[in-house]
Structure 1
């Protein structure tokens, strides 16, 4: 063996490179492929003594389930790996708890585990022998589960834990904050209606967290908001609705979040968001995302007014699942209210109604206000007729030389340009998504794309529910576009007439 392999730092770099190649999280792999990755590290561990420790550390570093550790117990090994089945799909009904000796076998490699995802909780009764003060994974950095850990949460609370994702507010959530002083990422995306007692546990637990960088949780009260505003480490905040209802925001002071760069709301209605936003300041906010079931424009206007104070916004994504109320007046549209965000790189509006009110003039004004825009999406599955024409679109594209992705309703029925006579070419646009656009002549549209938008080599059909009408015609446009490009590669001259196939 080469002397270089005896240097632990070099050996670790080689193994990390192997780990990247075999990383089961890099791609969606089959169980067989994931098993092959684990077998590769197991083989390296058996190769020689210098390889053993670093290979074993990487072999056990990330676990999707408790199965491999339970497989270390001789009595449970046949149950776990019977007929080659994955441990994750086995049940433990009637299996006796571990003995003290078996507990040692189970914990043999626990100190190597750094990331753990718990897929099932039916094996927990087997672990009842472990004392209540036991932390099974002393070096654990990340814990993720969609299972209720019930009274077994303490087994996973390592003092090194930095990332914790739980499905609901755990009754002993405060122990996470007290026992895991290094906690940086806490996620509780509850989909169940919480009791008042549960919400109080959440508020009390958050106030015990001193180093949070990312927080995702149900609706907060004002005391929790105030605590978070005093956390200089906090960068990302996500609020998930658990139907707790709105809170009283009258007669309260501003909370200043100096370092928060991303704010996200996922709620049933916009009432809570509209209530809280006027009382919060985000001088460094870069990303704002909101997903609601229903967005009345009577509430949208104060929301945009509150957002207008965030001059650093470069990413806005607003999605309403249900039909939005009609606008109170033509002067208020989500696009016009967004013209003040001159640093925008990404803007996505998805509203299931004809409320965008976008035409050639407004699009030109918008593009002139967003010189740095790279992604622009205006989706409307119920749009009756697009009012932006191709001439208006190309005039607007001249104002945004960095636009990379475009998805918006365009009138592709009444074509108002002659592509052969068009001197303008946009070479930055690469992704064109014709979600809400009606097309009657797929070949003519493909020819325009080929001549005016040469960097667009693929027309992306819609995949969302509600856009089925556009799917087949987009595939037809793509077919013609590929024909044009193939002809160009063969050296054929593209004239004003359509290609003959």
Structure 2
């Protein structure tokens, strides 16, 4: 054997390519089989191959299969006999387990039913010695079944991702995470189902962790004290949480020196704006505001003003403002989204990604869309009311789309209404040929709730075929938005867009295979 293969770091690098952490199910089983074979090949391969083989677990059953024959999942003793059996395991049996568990660095998505008996055994170690001394990443559902295992000491844990159902169990068990896992840097908590009894993480829990970099809990409220604590953590870069409607005022502005991504969830837009107006964000690039009710024109204006007040107007690159579409209003929509409503965000000079989706009609036309995007020549994504629809006879015309693509040469995804009224003449080939230098390799065009007459189908098909020929990968999605308000002739318009999409795809396929 070549001397280079006796270097453990080199072997670890090679073996890690056999079993990437992204593999799942049958692919993962094949990869683990290869690593097991490598471990049996020679003594030089054994330890590094086992380190990689056991570094990531999808479920816990391989651990119990390392115990004596009687402990295999198919032969486990039920009820009280299982408890007696686990207590009868010798120190040698546990040493065998420790030989494998010390290698485990990540446990991901293990199934409750599959691991039920495994957890019952593994949660009863005979000593206080950590069963998983090097476990760094834990991702699982937190239930009565998994609770005993998750209350074991996990001294090396840095990433905790938990979905829970019973809030009382989880709240009480957070104490064990604080005690046994003091160095967590990534905390992701979500509810498996809607539950009204769990409203916030207690301040005493959040404030015990001093090294947090990522906190993601979109269904959970953080109080003022918790936010003040997080603002004092210079390593924090990603924050997502639920805002209470009755948010308290701050004695002084919160300053997050290195926060790059911020996602605020709230029933309405006002609490989000009030928080932003009391916050200073020196480095924020990605911002998401997710709300549950329709904002007023005053709410939208205050929202854009609060972003400027926070100091993020010169750093923000990606802006999402989305309203939940689970409970659309039964009243007809009267508010019309126009350029004057969007003009304040034109001061955000570095925007490259814009998503606006609220329960308003959209009154943007060819000229106003072009004026709106003129501030951002590097704009890559423009999506307006994908879920709620435009519900108006407006949108960008084919000629306007050409001018838009020539202005924003990095644009790779656009979702707007397409105004094809009166568009019946085939477009000149010279205009479409000019797109060759402007379109990115992959281009996505979502045509939202757009009316199209039968006499425009041929011309629109030729126009979109010209765009498709100007890029490597063109995806055309018609009539986006499942909650678009129905209008007379809706089905007929949808059929026409579907027919156009099929013809564009067929023509593109023919050109590629010529």
TM bucket, shorter chain? 0.7 to 0.9
- Whole-Å Cα distance in 2 between the matches of residues 480 and 256 of structure 1? 54
- Whole-Å Cα distance in 1 between the matches of residues 363 and 351 of structure 2? 20
Helix, strand or coil: the match of 1:376?
Answer: strand
Contact 1:252 1:279 in 2 (8 A): no
Q: TM-score, normalised by structure 1?
A: 0.83
| Residue in structure 1 matched with residue 184 of structure 2 by the alignment | 183
Deviations 1:195-247 (A, max 9, x none): 57x632xx212111111110113211111111111111000001147xxx433
Most deviating of 449-458 and 159-168: 449-458
| Residue in structure 2 matched with residue 85 of structure 1 by the alignment | none
Matches within 5 A, 1:436-455: 436-440=449-453, 441-452=456-467, 454-455=470-471
Most deviating of 324-333 and 2-11: 324-333
Aligned to 1:96, which of 71, 82, 88?
Answer: 82
Inter-CA distance 195–488: structure 2 relative to 1 (3 Å threshold) = closer
Inter-CA distance 329–78: structure 2 relative to 1 (3 Å threshold) = closer
Deviations 1:379-403 (A, max 9, x none): 1544333412222222233221111
Helix, strand or coil: the match of 1:392?
Answer: helix
Alpha carbon RMSD of aligned pairs, Å?
3.2
Helix, strand or coil: the match of 1:281?
Answer: strand
Deviations 1:35-81 (A, max 9, x none): 2121111111111111111111111111112121122223465435x
| Residue in structure 2 matched with residue 230 of structure 1 by the alignment | 232
Inter-CA distance 416–359: structure 2 relative to 1 (3 Å threshold) = farther
Contact 2:182 2:209 in 1 (8 A): yes
Matches within 5 A, 1:117-132: 117=108, 118-120=110-112, 122-123=116-117, 124-130=119-125
Helix, strand or coil: the match of 2:82?
Answer: coil
| Residue in structure 1 matched with residue 422 of structure 2 by the alignment | 414
Matches within 5 A, 1:39-58: 39-58=33-52
Helix, strand or coil: the match of 1:160?
Answer: coil
Helix, strand or coil: the match of 2:4?
Answer: helix
| Residue in structure 1 matched with residue 282 of structure 2 by the alignment | 283
Matches within 5 A, 1:143-154: 143-148=138-143, 149-154=146-151
Contact 1:91 1:122 in 2 (8 A): no
Inter-CA distance 488–394: structure 2 relative to 1 (3 Å threshold) = same
Structure 2, gaps ≥5 residues long:
165-169, 485-489
Q: How many residues align?
A: 469
Matches within 5 A, 1:10-409: 10-20=10-20, 23=21, 25-26=22-23, 29=24, 31-75=25-69, 78-80=72-74, 96-97=82-83, 98-99=86-87, 100-101=89-90, 102-117=93-108, 118-120=110-112, 122-123=116-117, 124-130=119-125, 133-148=128-143, 149-155=146-152, 157-168=153-164, 169-190=170-191, 191-195=194-198, 199-200=201-202, 203-217=203-217, 218-240=220-242, 245-250=244-249, 252-297=251-296, 298-308=298-308, 309-310=311-312, 311-322=314-325, 323=328, 335-354=342-361, 356-378=362-384, 379-388=386-395, 389-409=397-417
| Residue in structure 2 matched with residue 494 of structure 1 by the alignment | none
Contact 1:390 1:416 in 2 (8 A): no
Tell me the CA shift for residue 260 of structure 1.
0.1
| Residue in structure 2 matched with residue 477 of structure 1 by the alignment | 500
- Whole-Å Cα distance in 1 between the matches of residues 346 and 424 of structure 2? 27
Q: TM-score, normalised by structure 2?
A: 0.81
- Whole-Å Cα distance in 1 between the matches of residues 467 and 226 of structure 2? 53
Contact 2:245 2:267 in 1 (8 A): no
